[in-house]
């Protein structure tokens, strides 16, 4: 059995690993695609800016030739030396101020919003004469007169430089950068979450193994104690000795109590690992209520009144083991919190759609703030006598679990006078 459980666990873990790797590769794929799109956008933006520069400079040259009333050369007007440096062959005389005005005007037409600086080749001195630094925003910046070099093949030309052209590319792609950063952030969170999940799974598996091993190790000697105690209690010598009989009965009662606690711990481990299996059968409601009533009276050392008000004799289609535990837990809780003279009423109310099975007690009730949480695992209502009442806070959680397994509803409400009423809504198809 353990072998098959290990196989099932390994299969679940393998599925988890497959899901993790698929998710990881999907995110990585999206990031690679985003980087590809970012690169394509960069190339497109770069070409767009270069085209704007080329067209603007072409128009500047045309305006100079138009002013000089000379014929425009057909080729080799604009030469790109580097990414931010261009040489324009005018092959005709032109003035510095007019050139700067034309450059600003044509750049504005094509919406080229970048700083630039230019220099003009002087034939007499055979050197590049720095023109000016033109800021788009009107801000002062460091000029770079040494950045311009002369070209021996040309006579009348000027050079233009865009010092911040690369920064403009990245600024124009700001939205792409934001998306890329967000994707990287998502990937980091995903990887971190996976590590946390695997770590938590490891601890959960260790916890389940510990609980299962511990409870099974306890149940073996406990079963031997119960067998020996029941055998000893049936012996004539023990029955005739009231003191020994009392001690044996204490051993049996405490062993049964310990066995119930172990079953509850096992229930927690099984529900967390989803190992619960439901086997439905037809159950006599009145008979199982009487059995629970008998066992409750044997357990508690006080006078208990358990009253049944059934409209008729019902047969419930449910898992007998869990249905018995469900009723036992509800009535046991009612007895615990009903003081010294508990009165428990079990009532059925049948409608056209379902059967309502209600358990009412005469206890102190539950504070309204605590009512929404009474079915939560390990939750216990704060009481002055809570130290005197045994339990782990999983009785009503178990009740809710059994109802969910059977597709029933369960809810709790305070009574008008005293105590609470736990109601179980059983589907029409689950009783006769």
Q: Which residues, other chains included, contact 68 with Cβ-Cβ below 8 Å and sequence gap of 6+?
A: 92, 93, 94
How many whole angstroms separate alpha carbon 295 and alpha carbon 356? 24
- Give the pLDDT confidence score for residue 387 in this predicted structure: 46
Taking phi over 0 as left and psi of -120 to 50 as alpha, with beta for the rest, 189 belongs to alpha
- The pLDDT tens digits along the chain (432 residues) read 444 344 444 555 577 778 777 877 887 888 788 788 888 888 888 888 888 999 999 898 888 888 888 777 767 788 888 888 999 988 777 888 888 899 999 998 988 888 899 999 887 788 888 888 988 877 777 788 888 888 877 888 899 999 888 888 777 777 777 877 887 788 888 788 888 887 887 777 776 777 667 666 777 787 788 888 888 888 888 888 888 888 888 888 778 777 776 776 666 666 655 556 678 899 999 999 998 888 888 777 678 888 999 988 899 999 888 888 889 889 988 888 887 788 999 999 988 889 999 999 888 888 888 788 788 776 667 655 444 445 556 778 888 888 888 899 998 988 888 888 999 999 988 888
Give residue-wise pLDDT tens across range 137-191: 777 777 888 888 888 778 888 999 998 888 887 777 777 778 778 877 888 887 8
395, 414 in Cβ contact below 8 A?
no
95, burial (CB in 10 Å: exposed 0-12, middle 13-18, buried 19+): exposed
How many whole angstroms separate alpha carbon 58 and alpha carbon 106? 9
- Residue 181 C-alpha from the chain's centroid: 21
Count other Cβ atoms within 10 Å, centred on residue 156: 15
How many whole angstroms separate alpha carbon 418 and alpha carbon 232? 44
This prediction's pTM: 0.47
Domain ranges of the chain: 15-172, 175-272, 279-430
- Fold for 279-430, please state it: Heat Shock Protein 90 (3.30.565)
How many whole angstroms separate alpha carbon 19 and alpha carbon 15? 6
Taking phi over 0 as left and psi of -120 to 50 as alpha, with beta for the rest, 426 belongs to beta
Q: Which residues, other chains included, contact 164 with Cβ-Cβ below 8 Å and sequence gap of 6+?
A: 114, 115
Structure tokens at 128: 């590049």
Taking alpha carbons only, the member of 267, 266, 258, 263 closest to residue 229 is: 258
Q: Which residues, other chains included, contact 413 with Cβ-Cβ below 8 Å and sequence gap of 6+?
A: 371, 420, 421, 423
- Give the pLDDT confidence score for residue 408 in this predicted structure: 92
156, 33 in Cβ contact below 8 A?
no
């Amino acid at each position: 059995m353990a072998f098959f459980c290990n196989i099932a666990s390994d299969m679940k873990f393998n599925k988890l690993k497959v899901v993790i790797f698929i998710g990881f590769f999907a995110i990585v794929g999206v990031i690679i695609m985003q980087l590809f799109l970012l690169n394509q956008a960069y190339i497109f933006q770069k070409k767009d800016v270069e085209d704007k520069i080329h067209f603007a400079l072409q128009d500047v040259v045309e305006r100079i030739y138009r002013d000089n009333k000379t014929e425009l050369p057909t080729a080799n007007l604009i030469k790109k030396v580097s990414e931010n440096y261009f040489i324009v062959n005018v092959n005709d005389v032109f003035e510095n101020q007019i050139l700067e005005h034309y450059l600003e005007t044509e750049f504005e037409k094509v919406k080229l919003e970048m700083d630039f600086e230019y220099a003009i080749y002087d034939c007499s001195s055979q050197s590049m004469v720095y023109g000016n630094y033109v800021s788009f925003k009107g801000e002062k910046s460091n000029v770079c007169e040494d950045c311009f070099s002369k070209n021996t093949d040309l006579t009348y030309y000027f050079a233009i430089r865009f010092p911040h052209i690369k920064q403009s590319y990245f600024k124009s792609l700001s939205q792409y950068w934001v998306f890329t950063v967000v994707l990287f952030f998502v990937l980091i969170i995903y990887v971190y979450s996976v590590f946390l999940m695997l770590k938590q799974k490891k601890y959960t598996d260790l916890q389940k193994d510990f609980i299962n091993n511990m409870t099974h190790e306890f149940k073996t000697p406990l079963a031997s104690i119960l067998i020996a105690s029941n055998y000893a209690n049936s012996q004539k010598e023990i029955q005739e000795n009231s003191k020994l009989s009392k001690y044996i009965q204490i051993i049996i009662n405490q062993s049964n109590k310990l066995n119930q606690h172990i079953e509850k711990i096992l229930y927690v481990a099984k529900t967390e690992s989803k190992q619960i299996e439901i086997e439905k059968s037809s159950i006599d409601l009145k008979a199982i209520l009487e059995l629970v009533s008998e066992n409750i009276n044997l357990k508690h050392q006080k006078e208990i009144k358990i009253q049944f008000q059934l409209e008729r004799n019902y047969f419930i289609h449910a898992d007998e083991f869990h249905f018995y535990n469900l009723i036992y837990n509800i009535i046991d809780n009612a007895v615990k919190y009903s003081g010294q003279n508990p009165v428990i009423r079990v009532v059925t109310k049948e409608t056209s759609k379902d059967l309502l099975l209600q358990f009412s007690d005469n206890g102190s009730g539950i504070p309204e703030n605590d009512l929404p949480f009474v079915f939560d695992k390990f939750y216990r209502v704060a009481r002055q006598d809570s130290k005197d009442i045994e339990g782990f806070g999983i009785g009503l959680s178990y009740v809710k679990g059994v109802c969910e397994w059977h597709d029933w509803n369960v809810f709790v409400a305070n009574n008008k006078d005293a105590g609470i009423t736990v109601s179980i809504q059983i589907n029409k198809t689950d009783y006769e």
